[in-house]
Amino acid sequence: MQLNFIVTILFFLSFLAYNVYAEEPVIFDIRNYGAGSGDISQALLDAWTAACNSTAPSIVFIPPGTWQLSQVKLHGPNKAPLELQVQGTLQANPDPSKLPDKDGQWITLNYVDNFTLSGGIFDGQGQQAWRQNDCHKNQNCAKLPINMSFNFIKNSIIRDVTSKNSKNWHVNCISSQNVTFLRFTISAPGDSINTDGIHLGRDTMINITDSIIGTGDDCISIGDEMKDLYIQNVTCGPGHGISIGSLGRNVAEKDVQGVYVRNCTFRGTDNGVRIKTWPSAPAQLQISDLHFEDLIMDNVSNPVIFDQEYCPHNLCKLDKPSLIKISKVTLKNIRGTSATSEVMSFLCSGAKPCENIEVGDIDLTYTGTLGPATTKCDNIKPILVGKQNPPICATPAQSA
């Protein structure tokens, strides 16, 4: 897996070098396509279409200023390297009912290769939508728009971008390959409902690096069929941490393999790193080759939690265990403070116990007064290495 990571970095550097030394790009300024004081959606779409048809490298340029954008769908393919360069702020209509096409997306980018999105603030103005969100209790709730949706993109970089106050998820990245989020900032208050920072699914070789994510739900949520995800130097908070899942409700779900979370900091979050799977659910996939290393927890409620009895709002039954297998996991050099006394919780499946879970160099302190720091372990026999503070599981089967 280290080799794959090196290959990705080499591609990233070669991609930057190409942009530096290639022929001068053609500029497609949205002002030349009718952008003025009103909605720029059509002007942006027209500039994008012209740039996609260019056989020379091109830049779609949004200049400084505040621009109103109702909704836009930017489709490829592009014939040459393409950049969307934003130097201003894009603002959505604060009223979610005003979305022209109520498909749940504000800005969509599909089927591009050698693409760069650079700069800009993408302001979803979600405060009004959060007050209307009742999806936690109403399965027929209105679908709220995601700030940015990336689908079927390859060999691309999203850098120096800020997503602010999305009405729903900030970013949805699906069925994509070799994509880097670099110096990506997500900003929303902790009480903004269902505003996941970056949601990933069915992707290969995704890097999230040197980024700051503060939101009202998972900072990063990981769906099924993920392979080779690298999360490094990310600060999370407020939010619900970095989560794999929830998984298991859909019988067609596929394995998650190769997740690396390293050198990350969690500040005041509900969770640090979490795996959540549904009980009494049909899917029988595997979650394996996970590495959670060199993590700092700062007053985190659940620094480490494996929850294979995930059942929010009593939407399921607990009479049958999860059929998802968690294996080949390392938890190493995790330190800091917990807001609850149960600093690590491993609630694994009775039908598919967790296997080959290595835990070591743990130093987590409980900051409250409700007793000593503890860990909880069901259906797991961890391999213990190095220091464990507090002790990990009362009677582990193996010790190294």
The residues assigned a catalytic role are 240
Closest CA to 116 of 261, 16, 37: 16
Q: How many CB atoms lie within 10 A of CB 136?
A: 12
For residue 194, the 8-state DSSP code is: T
Distance (Å, whole) CA 322 – CA 282: 8
Helix (H) or strand (E) run with residue 243 in it = strand 242-247
Cβ(373)–Cβ(348) below 8 Å: no
Q: How does DSSP assign 138-191, residue by residue?
A: -TTPPPPPEEEEEES-EEEEEES-EEES-SS-SEEEES-EEEEEES-EEE--TT
Distance (Å, whole) CA 55 – CA 380: 56
Closest CA to 157 of 212, 100, 112: 112
Q: How does DSSP assign 18-44, residue by residue?
A: HHHHSSPPEEEEGGGGT-SSSB-HHHH
Alpha helix ranges (H) inside the chain: 2-21, 41-52, 127-132
Strand, coil or helix: 389? strand
Cβ(349)–Cβ(323) below 8 Å: yes
Q: Within a 13 Å sphere around the CA of 75, how many CA atoms are in the beta-carbon half? A: 1
Distance (Å, whole) CA 229 – CA 272: 17
* Max intra-chain CA distance, the chain: 70
